[in-house]
Amino acid sequence: MCGISGIFNLRQPFPIDEELVKRINRLQSHRGPDDEGYFFDSNTALAHRRLSIIDLSGGHQPLFNEDHSVVVVFNGEIYNFQSLADTLMTLGHQFRTLSDTEVIVHAWEEWGEQCVERFRGMFAFALWDTNRQTLFMARDRLGKKPLFYTVTRNGQFLFASELKVLLGHPDIDTTLRPEMAEEFFMFGYIPEPFSAYQHIFKLNPGHTLTLTPGSHIHPRQYWDLAAPSNILSWEQTQEALLEKLEEAVAVRMIADVPLGAFLSGGVDSSAIVALMAQLQHAPVNTCAIGFDEKAYDESDYARQIADRYRTRHHQHIISPNDISLVELMTAIYDEPYADSSALPTYKVCQLASQHVKVALSGDGGDEIFGGYRRHRMHLAEQKLRDAIPGPIRKPLFGSLGHLYPKADWAPRPLRAKTTFQSLAMSMVEGYANSISKLRADERRQLFSASYRQKLNGYTGLELLQSYTRHLPTDDPLKQIQYLDIKTWLVGDILTKVDRASMANGLEVRAPLLDHEFIEWAYQIDSRDNIRGTEGKYAFKKALENHVSHDILYRPKMGFSIPLAEWLRTSLKPMLIQNVLSEQMCDSGFFNVDVLKKMIADHQSGYRDHGASLWCLLMFAQFMVRQR
């Protein structure tokens, strides 16, 4: 796992400042504390920071082919590099190292842009071919590794693993993208391919970008989740599920450094630890986070798995004293990011980095197997949408949604406002309503009249609708799983883990997000993923001989912090200082009276605005940091 960056003269020859390249690349030194390397020619600069995982002595980057005509900087892991190297050697290519990085330059020579279709792993890389005068860049299929890019005022193309590197360049246009506030308060992050800045973009997952002098920026998609070729029977699912997952785990256990796993006490991480324990003789290193508030604490369940598989277990308990990390979150993510589980994720990465250099995680299980409560709610809502004609359904449930009070205090089954609103909507509108940090009506109240006018009717729904045009199936569960993969998974889950792990010099690998495993799992009958009120049903049944019933079938807790209480106590001064700061009040985005009322209502206990105020705090900290 590493950090990459570089400059390419896209429009015309322009002197490349070598010291500037080194200075801004070192802004991401946390991604690669072990080594750095550079390549310069008249039109191109490539920079690298290395976290050494495979071929510790021979994997220095930038790395070249035999005649130094092709050079690459690479962030990630290619798990099938050994078999690819064998194939390339039979085709006449000569290897000088044992690293997975060298496979890239030879694969480019042999297969050109199609080389990425042969890579199995997580990656973002940039390759310069001197003979072809071509810069070729790629990002893995799911977007596990980030890649930002922009063009400076003088026509230089810049790219990097993190935004902070680009922002360190003096010629970058840092104008904020007007739509980013609307998107952030809907999604809780800035969705691909956009960033918080008008002229800085993210290369979409499963895309490549090929540039030559004078060319235009046109990313090309090389992978998408395709329609299931067939639907698996129950027997086929149960016979193959753990076998295929075990293979995905095994290929991710290849490393020349100490390796371990995150263990939350939930289904997914427990499954990964169980399979790891069966694949290696030595005890698995496991790392867990607990809370001093029992309602949020899963550490006892993590301990159960640790004891069963006799792991070498490490644990940290999070308390309100850890709120000092809140300000650090903004520095890590570089743009607004609202998933409060980023804090415990950072702490578990910090804990793991004290014992291992690589950790396997259970990320992806909910997305792949239908594990979120909103997945079950969506299926129930879609049945009603299909059963009741739109001309009746929309005014009926629209009126109920408008009249029903927002009951944050009530038990979940009685919080019907969002459900009524969703039932009045189309499939994609209902999905958007269920994932929104602040629903559309709440955002309208929050935003100022001038900002709403500037949006001119735009909402983050337009991004989701762009993906619905490519839905590979009419199965309602598989449709929202597809949308999850395109938005939530990359924008929230994978972003969270990448930044938190890299900030601690740790590599995290996610077997459940192996693209071959996902393509197979997408063929599972949706009725086997969700049965009644039970999500991830087929997965849990397959695990019954490996994970206790108490862990498999207990209510899902999630990986979050006690937001509401902390915002009334230890976080209260930070909340008021930031959300009512000059930068926020003068930004033009907000109705300041609404900001004040939300804080007052939450502090008094009249309303629970915990999730919304956390979003505002994260956004405010970003705004305060703007230069």
Q: In the 8-state DSSP scheme, what is residue 155? A: S
Instruction: For residues 193 and 200, give the distance between their C-alpha atoms in angstroms, rounded to a whole number.
Output: 9
What length does the chain have?
A: 627
Beta bridge partners, 76, equal 123
Is 615 a catalytic site residue? no
Q: What is the CA radius of gyration of the chain?
A: 24
Q: What is the DSSP string of 505-517?
A: T-EEE-GGG-HHH
- Conformational region of residue 68, where left means phi above 0, alpha means psi within -120 to 50, and beta covers everything else: left
Beta bridge partners, 316, equal 289
Instruction: For residues 205 and 207, give the distance between their C-alpha atoms in angstroms, rounded to a whole number.
Output: 5
Beta strand pairing call for 121-129 and 134-139: antiparallel
Tokens at residue 262, please?
Answer: 């995150």
Measured CA to CA in angstroms, residue 46 lies from 32, 55, 56, 157, 170 at distances of: 15, 21, 21, 12, 18
Other beta carbons less than 10 A from residue 526's beta carbon: 19
Beta strand pairing call for 259-262 and 200-202: unpaired
Beta strand pairing call for 220-221 and 358-360: unpaired
CB-count exposure of residue 469 (10 Å: 0-12, 13-18, 19+): exposed
Whose tokens are 């979003």? That residue is 615
> H or E element: which one contains 35?
strand 35-40
For residues 581 and 624, the answer to whether their CB atoms sit within 8 Å is: yes
Query: In degrees, to the nearest 5, what angle opens at C-alpha 10 toward C-alphas 5 and 16?
Result: 55
Instruction: For residues 286 and 264, give the distance between their C-alpha atoms in angstroms, rounded to a whole number.
Output: 9
Around 52, how many Cα atoms within 13 Å sit in the side-chain half-sphere? 15
CB-count exposure of residue 582 (10 Å: 0-12, 13-18, 19+): exposed
Task: For helices 325-333 and 342-353, give the axis angle rounded to 10 degrees.
Answer: 90
Helix, strand or coil for residue 168? Answer: coil
- Nearest CA to 338 out of 625, 618, 562 is that of 618
For residues 572 and 560, the answer to whether their CB atoms sit within 8 Å is: no
Which ranges constitute the DSSP H helices of 487-579? 488, 495-502, 515-521, 526-529, 537-542, 549-552, 563-568, 572-579
Question: Which residues are the active-site residues?
Answer: 2
